[in-house]
């Protein structure tokens, strides 16, 4: 017999229990509900009633209840009807001096609602009753077992903190089964669960409940669709009223981990998978009808049904042909056996696109080559060859690492195929074509002849891209002119005139690109508040949508907002954005997020985090160079030069020189001068240096003039991080930590045992050293500098 101990939870709940007289404890079997309730009622005269064996309305009357300090009613989940519950509620209301505790394996019944609404009901759930490390340690010690951190962790992992499993583990250890108790523990606990499962539910309900793990997240419509009206109603009734196997999450329900584990164990034991096939297929069909391909593929993957997975992916590719639409399903494509992929031109096209988006150029090219080989194979029919060749034309323009010598010819190839009539041949704008903001291809190759290129593109873009081409020429031409630093007024007017048509007939990504270039022009003119307002209007509309495309655009939109905050010197906002979006460099980076990465790089520079900036650059540089991302590399070169300049490293010159050379070759100015006061001293240093040629001096003079204009608009943009004027003492650090916790000077003095005038002196020193004037600013600066 195990010695029992109070839970760590007890102390926390006792304070609430002292102020309550009614408690509802619900959890599956094995959570120690009865033991917990007896601790709650220790020392009281208790009327105990088991609802499973007696009529509670006869046993728990007002007269009987008033004779006792407390009433404990167990097993109300199956045995108490709504009518009986209403009678019990009446007894509770009349017996104001008696305490009541009810135990259940199902959620709170409706007749408790009035007490819950008035705040009179204490609720204890399975989540509360899981054992903590402290609980396990105390239980080990109470049963004569030396409690070590290693043993506590071992018991916690093996039992998953489930009280019954913890108790079983300790019983094994007491029998000196120290090295072997974990292996049989799971089956022992599951067998105990099985006995109760079979006792509580009839055979038909058992079969239905065992299907629940296949769904993971469920809703009423799914259950009814999968099981039919009668079976679905049976399951829903069991889930919502007779068990605590699920937790509500908005409009859906999540199956508890313990229930999932048991159902998997029980299904494997019964080996009745053949009876489940029809239901599983209906569930998959339901997911597909809802456009929930991820859940459909999850289910196929769990059942190792490669054939059905392939069929779903093929359907998804036909319904969502844009390359960006595969992003969320990438790992399912990579689960497919290679021979299956090689048998399908469509799948080879998708794999080449996916690997390119994941910046795996070699893998992307491998699939491209295999698709070429497929098209050239002599056994191909003319239709198979035509399909493969059309996919190759799609990849030529969609893969960012494939260098285009003539963008008009590439788009023309798609136009000849009348790609706009075949959704599978229309590249996703987000990953295939301009804009620079959301963009795919770098526009640099067409900048020397952008007007001619735009005219040629305008004649063919309709046949090549359909709705995805609405406004694309106007946006691309405006961006080209903007990057050159000239007057973009007439080009911006064309974009503005086209925007209503883009919204009506075009694509969301192009709408963002159009609004984005409008914002960048406003920023350049110093009208950043107007730009923010314009961008927020689009953000509010996109936030109401749940499509992957809208989420991707919103991510880039948030990065553009962060760049505006950087210009305004709003350090708290930019730091919060940076903490959320800085990539984990131990994981792979994604091409679609490169606009975010460039913004992260700027924020690193603004915060003086030059080492992190260089690490990000190292992770991106190879891909940027391989894709010949001219505009991106100029940005990174300029920012890297600024970082080296501020660090006192002479390498700044080689980075800046390279950026200037590339910018001059393509006629760019804005790409450099937008950094204003941050890049100005580097430009002046080069301009004033002896030996600088006449052409270079002319270029630098133009850039200096434009950079000074930007510096006058945004003097705080990428302003060098101030840091500490002098190091903080240990006491000042303690005071700063308490300031960050919103403690007053008086509270700080009490906590640290120092007088109020001394606290004020420390605060004054802290403000001076952090170069701020207010406590709130000190807290913000401390977090930015990672002092707390």
pLDDT band for position 465 (cuts 50, 70, 90)? confident
CA atoms within 13 A on the CB side of 390: 22
3-state secondary structure of 728: coil
* Burial group, residue 735, by CB count within 10 angstroms (0-12, 13-18, 19+): buried
Angle between helices 149-159 and 182-200 (to 10 degrees): 40
The one-character DSSP state at 3 is: P
Extract the tokens encoding 764: 């004054």
pLDDT of amino acid 319? 66
pLDDT of amino acid 79? 74
Highest mean pLDDT among 276-285, 442-451, 714-723: 714-723
**pLDDT above 60 for 607:** yes
To the nearest 10°, report the CA torsion of 767, 771, 772, 777. -90
pLDDT band for position 437 (cuts 50, 70, 90)? very low
3-state secondary structure of 635: helix
| Full-model pTM | 0.65
pLDDT of amino acid 370? 96
Instruction: Give the integer Cα–Cα distance in Å for 603 and 739.
Output: 25
- The answer to whether the CB of 167 falls within 8 A of the CB of 142 is no
Task: Report residue 585: phi and psi, to 5°.
Answer: -75, -5
Distances (CA, A) of 365 to 348, 380, 433: 10, 22, 19
pLDDT band for position 360 (cuts 50, 70, 90)? confident
Extract the tokens encoding 340: 């299956």
Distances (CA, A) of 118 to 15, 20, 91, 625: 18, 11, 17, 66
Q: What angle do CA 101, 106, 109 make, to 5 degrees?
A: 70
CA-based torsion, 396, 401, 402, 404: positive or negative: positive
Average the pLDDT over each of 329-338, 418-427, 645-654, 774-783 and give the range with the smallest value.
418-427
pLDDT band for position 774 (cuts 50, 70, 90)? confident
State mean pLDDT over 19-37.
87
pLDDT of amino acid 187? 80
State mean pLDDT over 20-42.
87
Average the pLDDT over each of 39-53, 132-146, 179-193 and give the range with the smallest value.
179-193
pLDDT band for position 14 (cuts 50, 70, 90)? confident
**pLDDT above 70 for 421:** no
pLDDT of amino acid 674? 95
> Which has the closest alpha carbon to 182: 163, 143, 156?
156
- The answer to whether the CB of 234 falls within 8 A of the CB of 225 is no
Average the pLDDT over each of 282-291, 399-408, 664-673, 768-777 and give the range with the smallest value.
399-408
Helix runs in 417-471, H state only: 429-432, 450-465
**pLDDT above 80 for 240:** no
3-state secondary structure of 607: coil
Which tens digits make up the pLDDT trace of 498-538?
999 999 998 888 889 899 999 999 999 999 999 999 999 99
Q: What angle do CA 233, 235, 241 make, to 5 degrees?
A: 95
Instruction: Give the integer Cα–Cα distance in Å for 574 and 562.
Output: 6
Mean pLDDT (the chain) is 83
Average the pLDDT over each of 119-133, 164-178, 261-275 and give the range with the smallest value.
261-275
Extract the tokens encoding 94: 């009349």
Instruction: Give the integer Cα–Cα distance in Å for 458 and 462.
Output: 8
**pLDDT above 50 for 433:** no
State mean pLDDT over 7-33.
83
Task: Report residue 72: phi and psi, to 5°.
Answer: -115, 120
Distances (CA, A) of 63 to 47, 82, 88, 92: 12, 21, 12, 11
Distances (CA, A) of 423 to 47, 78, 197, 468: 72, 56, 51, 10
Extract the tokens encoding 226: 């999968």
State mean pLDDT over 307-331.
70
**pLDDT above 70 for 251:** no
pLDDT > 90: percent of the chain: 28
**pLDDT above 90 for 314:** no
Average the pLDDT over each of 249-263, 277-291, 607-621 and give the range with the smallest value.
249-263
* Burial group, residue 395, by CB count within 10 angstroms (0-12, 13-18, 19+): buried
Cβ atoms within 10 Å, residue 132: 14
Instruction: Give the integer Cα–Cα distance in Å for 739 and 737.
Output: 5
State mean pLDDT over 168-177.
80
Residues in the chain: 788
Extract the tokens encoding 616: 């990000």
Instruction: Give the integer Cα–Cα distance in Å for 574 and 694.
Output: 40
**pLDDT above 90 for 250:** no
State mean pLDDT over 568-586.
91
Which tens digits make up the pLDDT trace of 546-571?
777 788 889 999 999 999 999 999 98
State mean pLDDT over 591-602.
90
**pLDDT above 80 for 219:** no
pLDDT of amino acid 429? 44
State mean pLDDT over 671-682.
94
pLDDT of amino acid 177? 65
- The answer to whether the CB of 459 falls within 8 A of the CB of 445 is no
- The answer to whether the CB of 282 falls within 8 A of the CB of 226 is yes
Instruction: Give the integer Cα–Cα distance in Å for 338 and 349.
Output: 13
Instruction: Give the integer Cα–Cα distance in Å for 564 and 574.
Output: 9
- The answer to whether the CB of 752 falls within 8 A of the CB of 744 is no
Which DSSP string do the residues of 223-266 spell out, in sequence order? HHHHHHHHHHHHHHHHHHHS---EEEETTEEEE-HHHHHHHHHH
- The answer to whether the CB of 568 falls within 8 A of the CB of 714 is yes
pLDDT of amino acid 434? 32
Strands 70-74 and 99-104: parallel
> Which has the closest alpha carbon to 228: 208, 206, 249, 251?
208
């Amino acid at each position: 017999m195990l010695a029992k101990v109070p839970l760590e939870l007890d102390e926390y709940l006792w304070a609430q229990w002292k102020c309550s007289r009614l408690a509802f404890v619900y959890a599956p079997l094995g959570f120690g509900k009865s033991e917990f309730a007896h601790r709650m009622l220790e020392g009281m005269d208790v009327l105990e009633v088991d609802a499973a064996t007696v009529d509670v309305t006869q046993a728990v009357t007002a007269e009987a209840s008033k004779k006792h300090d407390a009433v404990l009613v167990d097993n109300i989940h199956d045995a108490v009807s709504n009518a009986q519950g209403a009678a019990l509620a009446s007894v509770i209301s009349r017996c104001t001096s008696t305490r009541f505790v009810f135990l259940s394996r199902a959620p709170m019944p409706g007749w408790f609602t009035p007490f819950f609404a008035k705040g009179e009901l204490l609720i204890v759930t399975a989540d509360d009753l899981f054992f903590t490390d402290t609980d396990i340690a105390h239980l080990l010690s109470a049963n004569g077992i030396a409690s070590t951190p290693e043993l506590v962790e071992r018991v916690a992992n093996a039992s998953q903190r489930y009280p019954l499993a913890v108790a079983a583990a300790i019983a094994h250890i007491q029998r000196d089964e120290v090295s072997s108790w974990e292996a049989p523990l799971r089956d022992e606990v599951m067998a105990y669960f099985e006995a109760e499962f079979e006792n509580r539910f009839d055979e038909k309900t058992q079969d239905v409940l065992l299907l629940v793990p296949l769904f993971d997240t469920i809703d009423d419509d799914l259950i009814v669709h999968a099981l039919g009206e009668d079976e679905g109603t049976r399951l829903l009734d069991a889930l919502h009223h007779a068990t605590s196997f699920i937790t509500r999450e908005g409009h859906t329900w999540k199956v508890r981990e313990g229930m999932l584990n048991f159902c998997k164990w029980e299904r494997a034991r019964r080996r009745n998978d053949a009876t489940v096939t029809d239901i599983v297929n209906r569930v998959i069909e339901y997911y597909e009808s809802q456009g929930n391909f991820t859940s459909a593929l999850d289910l196929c993957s769990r059942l190792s049904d490669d054939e059905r997975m392939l069929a779903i992916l093929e359907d998804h590719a036909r319904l969502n042909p844009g390359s960006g639409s595969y992003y969320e399903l990438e790992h399912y494509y990579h689960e497919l056996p290679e021979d299956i992929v090689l048998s399908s031109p469509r799948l080879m096209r998708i794999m080449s696109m996916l690997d390119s988006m994941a910046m795996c150029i070699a893998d992307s090219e491998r699939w491209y080559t295999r698709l070429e080989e497929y098209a050239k194979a002599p056994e191909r029919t003319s239709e198979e060859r035509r399909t493969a060749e059309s996919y190759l034309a799609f990849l030529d323009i969609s893969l960012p690492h494939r260098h285009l010598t003539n963008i008009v010819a590439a788009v023309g190839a798609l136009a000849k195929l009348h790609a706009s009539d075949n959704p599978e041949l229309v590249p996703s704008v987000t990953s295939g074509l301009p804009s620079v903001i959301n963009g795919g291809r770098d526009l640099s190759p067409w900048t020397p002849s952008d007007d001619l290129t735009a005219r040629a593109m305008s004649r063919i873009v309709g046949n090549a891209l359909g709705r995805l081409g609405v406004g694309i020429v106007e946006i691309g031409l405006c961006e080209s002119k903007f990057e050159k630093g000239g007057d973009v007024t007439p080009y911006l007017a064309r974009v503005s005139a086209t925007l209503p048509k883009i919204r009506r007939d075009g694509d969301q990504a192009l709408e963002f690109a159009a609004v984005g270039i409008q914002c960048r022009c406003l920023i350049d003119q110093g009208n950043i508040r107007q730009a923010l307002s314009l961008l927020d209007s689009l953000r509010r509309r996109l936030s109401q949508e749940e499509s992957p495309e809208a989420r991707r655009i919103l991510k880039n939109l948030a990065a553009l907002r962060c760049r505006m905050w950087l210009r305004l010197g709003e350090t708290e906002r930019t730091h919060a954005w940076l903490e959320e979006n800085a990539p984990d460099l131990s994981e792979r980076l994604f091409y679609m997020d490169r606009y975010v990465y460039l913004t992260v790089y700027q924020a690193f520079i603004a915060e003086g985090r030059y080492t992190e900036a260089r690490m990000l650059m190292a992770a991106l540089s190879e891909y940027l160079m391989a894709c010949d991302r001219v505009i991106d590399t100029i940005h990174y070169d300029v920012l890297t030069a600024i970082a080296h300049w501020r660090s006192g490293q002479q390498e700044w010159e080689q980075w800046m020189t390279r950026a200037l050379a590339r910018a001059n070759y393509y006629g760019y100015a804005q790409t450099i001068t937008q950094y204003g006061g941050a890049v100005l001293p580097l430009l002046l240093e080069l301009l004033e240096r002896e030996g600088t040629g006449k052409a270079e001096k002319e270029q630098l003079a133009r850039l200096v003039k434009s950079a000074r204009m930007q510096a006058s608009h945004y003097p705080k943009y990428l302003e060098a991080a101030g840091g500490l004027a002098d190091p903080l003492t240990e006491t000042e650090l303690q005071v700063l930590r308490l300031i960050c916790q919103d403690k007053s000077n008086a509270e700080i003095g009490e906590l640290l045992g120092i007088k109020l005038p001394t606290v004020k002196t420390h605060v004054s020193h802290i403000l001076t050293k952090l170069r701020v004037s207010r406590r709130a600013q000190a807290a913000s600066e401390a977090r930015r500098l990672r002092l707390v």
